[in-house]
């Protein structure tokens, strides 16, 4: 319903609070530790990040503020003029323009100081540039103190404005103060507007909602208008004029003929003629209120003629009602709604969109296939009756009438079975209703079932007495026996299949060779290949007499003296290990030193640790790590503790 929801605008903080929010976020979201022994490029990046992040935060906050506040050129003219009346659009645009200018100035300051930071030659110089950048940004925001305060006041007032849809079905109530406008609105809507016996009780626009013909309607109660020039009207009256000028609504101009409002009938008629140009192309009604005191027939002839002239010349319909006795209130509402619906349809028919709608509609006209007359059939029981005319003696009784006759709500119980359509009306109240073809479960129950059951029980007692069930012989059917044999055969076959599968799976997972003969590259040891290696080692002048082969599946037995025999080699070792041991080369699992001698491995490891020392120092504490510089702050741990909080900082 609400086309413009100004309640979603975020609060605008004051200038000092704005700075605290932005700088606190910069401190929390960016690195906090820097040292002078860092490289100058790293120091520059540290402070450039601070400046850029602060500028981005200002940009984000200010841009969101500018987007949330409505732009007077983009919203409906009703809201644009209403904001001009309440806040002065020049001041409003000036405040938003100053905020936008501050945003651009902060961007320029950030770009300028980031450019200077690229050439900072020391930590002190970079720090001072950062400090100057943030200081200039803070100064720019402090100058916007008045604009921020003004926008916060506008936001608070906008959030209290009623949500008015300028394009929906609307009844607009207007007239002199204290003529009964708010009382009428309380009667026809769910609103609760303050009603007092003095003028200008309503000081702003109030909106109430109601339902008519399954449609949602809004009723707007406007403040009272006095009869003086437009330039002399105050802010309260200008709100009513703005609503009358811009809302496409049905105008209800209220008049008090009893003059209890404090204004004469002539003054009220004069006010109508003065604001009549605002009613152009809008359905208008003259609502005569307080007829329980004075009716139009009781007025002097001159005043009656003035009212008739309005009705004849301007085409305004005169409706009489009394909000005190509720006489004519709902009739006035219904008449105004019908008139507005008709006017809206006429406006749409005159527009250009109706052509597109008509092209999509097709009215089917059936062709007569014979000369037989087929008049509409209206049942006799409803012909000439009205369900809504309570005084009609032929009106059909409704459930509501039956409820009132039989004790009212909570006592009367609705008879749902009386509308069931059965072949036999007596079936409506069966304990088991019809299922199909006029039958239910009860129709298939044997009426002699109890006698047959008694007969069967007596027969069972006789068989037990004669010993018919005492025989222990098992009666075996030939079909059952064949079925059991088949089931046994299936179980045996299934068991055989499971055993074959398990044996096959066990052979597949079984290792063929011992794991000790596998090399690092997953190649199995080959005896013929080893003999070639042994022959080649002999040609190189190495002694291979101590090398002996043994069974691949048998473990080697070691004696006490075997540990001293350093010349013997084990056939279980892979060839590359054997060659390395012969040549005095150490084999390690570390690939970075693979293929190096022992001395070279130690030297490589030493250089690697030395090169890693500086990165390790940086990894222990970086500028993004949180650190508490003072473990026991003086303001928290000095002097005696008293009653109250200690976080006064």
Evaluate whether 600 touches 593 at the Cβ level (below 8 Å).
Answer: yes
Q: Is residue 188 part of a domain?
A: yes
| pLDDT tops 90 at residue 190 | no
Residue 466 covered by a domain: no
- Is the domain of 268 the same as that of 296? yes
Task: Verify that 284 and 233 share a domain, yes or no.
Answer: yes
The two three-digit tokens of residue 76, written as one number:
């409906």
pLDDT in tens, 13-22: 999 999 999 9
| Per-residue model confidence (pLDDT) at position 139 | 95
- Among the listed ranges 137-146, 493-502, 540-549, which one has the minimum average pLDDT value? 540-549
Top pLDDT among 281 and 391 is at 281
| End-to-end Cα spacing for the chain | 48
Residue 472 pLDDT level (bands cut at 50, 70, 90)? low
Span 403-420, average pLDDT: 86
- Kindly state whether residues 318 and 408 are assigned to the same domain: no
In a domain, 384, yes or no: no
Domain count, the chain: 4
Residue 94: phi and psi, rounded to 5, are: -65, -40
Distance CA 474, CA 247 (A): 98
Same domain, 173 and 321: yes
Residue 368 lies in a domain: no
Cα–Cα dist 80/404, whole Å: 54
Position 102 scores a pLDDT of 95
Give the pLDDT of residue 551.
Answer: 45
Q: What is the pLDDT of residue 648?
A: 54
Find where tokens 């101590």 sit.
546
Q: Using the 3D structure, point to which of 407, 442, 477 is the last residue of a domain.
A: 442
Q: How far is the CA of 375 from the CAs of 151, 261, 365, 372, 378, in angstroms? A: 71, 59, 16, 10, 9
The whole-number pLDDT of residue 598 equals: 83
Residue that is last in its domain, among 135, 158, 181: 158
55 and 87 assigned to the same domain: yes
Task: Check whether residue 119 and residue 63 sit in a common domain.
Answer: yes
For 196-208, what is each residue's pLDDT tens digit? 766 677 777 888 8
| Residue with more model confidence, 605 or 526 | 605
pLDDT of residue 571: 46
Position 434 pLDDT exceeds 80: no
Give the pLDDT mean for 405-419. Answer: 86
Strand order across the 317-320 sheet: 206-212, 215-221, 170-175, 250-256, 284-289, 317-320
Residues 126 and 124: their CA atoms lie apart, in Å, by 6
Place of tokens 């052979």: 507
Q: Is residue 330 part of a domain?
A: yes
| Predicted confidence (pLDDT) at residue 146 exceeds the cutoff of 90 | yes
Query: Is residue 115 pLDDT above 90, yes or no?
Result: yes
* Residue span of the structural domain in which 30 resides: 6-158
For position 148, what pLDDT does the model report? 94
Answer yes or no: do 273 and 315 share one domain: yes
Higher pLDDT, 439 or 219: 219
Judgement on whether residues 329 and 407 belong to the same structural domain of the protein: no
Q: What is the CATH number of the domain that holds 56?
A: 1.20.120.1190
Going 238 to 243 to 245 to 246, the CA torsion angle's sign is positive
Residue 566 has pLDDT above 90, yes or no: no
Average pLDDT (320-324) is 87
pLDDT value of residue 322: 87
User: Is residue 31 a contact partner of residue 53, using CB atoms and an 8 Å limit?
Assistant: no
Per-residue pLDDT of 44-78, as tens digits, reads 999 999 999 999 999 999 999 999 898 888 888 88
Work out the average pLDDT over 346-367: 80
Region 174-188 average pLDDT? 87
For 229-256, what is the mean pLDDT? 84
> Where among 411, 427, 442 does a domain terminate?
442
Q: Does 153 share its domain with 169? A: no
User: Do 437 and 583 share a domain, yes or no?
Assistant: no
263 vs 17 pLDDT, higher one: 17
Could you tell me the CATH number of the domain that includes residue 301?
3.40.50.300
Statement to judge: residues 172 and 106 lie in one domain: no
User: Does 219 lie in the same domain as 127?
Assistant: no
Bridge partners, residue 217, by sequence: 210
Averaged pLDDT for residues 214-224:
88
**Per-residue confidence band for 567, with pLDDT thresholds at 50, 70 and 90:** very low
Residue 135 has pLDDT above 90, yes or no: yes
- Residue 648 in domain: no
Domain annotation covers residue 641: no
Asked whether the beta carbons of 82 and 239 are under 8 A apart, the reply is yes
Residue 88 falls inside a structural domain: yes
Whether the pLDDT of residue 183 is over 60: the answer is yes
Report residue 58: phi and psi, to 5°: -60, -45
Reported as a pLDDT band with limits 50, 70 and 90, residue 585 is very low
pLDDT at 456: 92
Per-residue pLDDT tens digits for 590-633: 677 777 888 888 888 888 888 878 767 766 555 566 666 677 77
Is the pTM above the cut of 0.95? no
Q: Any idea what the Cα angle at residue 539 is, between residues 535 and 542, rounded to 5°?
A: 90
DSSP assignment of 326-357, as one string? Answer: TBTHHHHHHHHHHHHHHHHHHHHHHSSHHHHH
- Does 251 score more than 60 pLDDT? yes
Overall average pLDDT of the 356-377 stretch = 83
> pLDDT category, 149, cuts 50, 70, 90?
very high
């Amino acid at each position: 319903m609400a086309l413009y929801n100004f309640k979603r605008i975020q609060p605008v903080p004051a200038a000092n609070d704005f700075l605290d929010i932005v700088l606190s976020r910069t401190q929390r979201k960016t690195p906090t530790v820097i040292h002078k022994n860092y490289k100058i490029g790293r120091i520059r990046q540290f402070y450039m990040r601070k400046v850029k992040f602060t500028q981005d935060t200002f940009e984000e906050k200010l841009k969101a503020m500018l987007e949330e506040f409505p732009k007077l050129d983009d919203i409906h003219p009703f809201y644009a003029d209403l904001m001009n009346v309440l806040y002065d659009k020049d001041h409003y645009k000036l405040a938003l323009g100053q905020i936008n200018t501050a945003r651009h100035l902060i961007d320029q300051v950030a770009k300028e100081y980031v450019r200077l930071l690229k050439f900072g030659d020391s930590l002190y110089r970079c720090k001072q540039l950062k400090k100057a950048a943030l200081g200039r940004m803070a100064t720019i925001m402090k100058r916007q103190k008045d604009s921020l305060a003004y926008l916060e006041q506008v936001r608070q007032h906008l959030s209290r404005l009623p949500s008015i849809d300028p394009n929906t079905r609307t009844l607009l109530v207007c007239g002199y103060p204290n003529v009964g406008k708010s009382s009428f609105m309380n009667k026809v809507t769910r609103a609760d507007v303050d009603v007092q016996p003095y003028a200008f009780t309503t000081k702003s626009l109030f909106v109430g909602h109601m339902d008519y013909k399954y449609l949602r309607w809004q009723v707007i109660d406007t403040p009272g208008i006095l009869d003086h020039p437009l330039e002399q009207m105050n802010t309260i009256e200008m709100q009513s004029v703005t609503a009358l000028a811009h809302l496409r609504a049905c105008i209800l101009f209220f008049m008090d003929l009893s003059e209890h409002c404090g204004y004469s009938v002539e003054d009220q008629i004069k006010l109508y003629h003065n604001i009549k140009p605002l009613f152009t192309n809008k359905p208008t009604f003259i609502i005569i209120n307080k007829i329980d005191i004075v009716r139009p027939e009781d007025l002097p002839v001159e005043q009656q003629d003035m009212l008739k002239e309005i009705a004849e010349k301007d085409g305004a319909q005169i409706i009489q009602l009394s909000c005190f006795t509720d006489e004519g209130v709902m009739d006035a509402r219904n008449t105004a709604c019908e008139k507005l619906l008709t006017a809206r349809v006429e406006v749409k028919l005159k527009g250009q969109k109706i052509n597109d709608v008509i092209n999509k509609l097709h009215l089917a006209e059936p062709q007569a296939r014979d000369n037989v007359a087929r008049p509409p059939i209206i049942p006799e029981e409803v012909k000439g009756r009205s369900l809504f005319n309570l005084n009609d003696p032929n009106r059909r009784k409704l459930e509501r009438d039956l409820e009132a006759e039989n004790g009212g709500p909570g006592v009367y119980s609705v008879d749902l079975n009386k509308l069931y359509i059965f072949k036999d009306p007596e079936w409506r109240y069966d304990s088991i209703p019809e299922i199909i073809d006029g039958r239910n479960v009860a129709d298939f129950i044997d009426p002699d079932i109890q006698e047959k059951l008694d007969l069967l029980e007596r027969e069972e007692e006789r068989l037990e007495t004669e010993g018919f069930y005492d025989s222990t012989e098992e009666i075996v059917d030939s079909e059952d026996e064949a079925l059991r044999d088949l089931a046994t055969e299936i179980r045996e076959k299934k068991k055989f299949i499971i055993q074959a599968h398990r044996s096959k799976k066990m052979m597949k997972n079984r290792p063929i060779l011992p794991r000790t003969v596998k090399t690092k590259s997953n190649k199995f040891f080959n005896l013929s290949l080893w003999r070639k290696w042994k022959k080649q080692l002999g040609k190189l002048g190495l002694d291979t007499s101590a090398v002996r082969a043994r069974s691949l599946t048998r473990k080697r037995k070691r004696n006490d003296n075997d540990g001293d025999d350093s010349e013997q080699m084990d056939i279980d070792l892979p060839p590359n290990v054997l060659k390395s041991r012969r040549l005095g080369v150490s084999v390690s699992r570390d690939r970075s030193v693979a293929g190096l001698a022992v001395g070279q491995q130690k030297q490589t490891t030493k250089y690697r640790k030395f090169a890693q020392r500086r990165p390790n120092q940086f990894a222990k504490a970086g500028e993004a790590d949180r650190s508490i510089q003072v473990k026991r702050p003086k303001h928290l741990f000095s002097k005696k503790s008293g009653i109250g909080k200690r976080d006064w900082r």
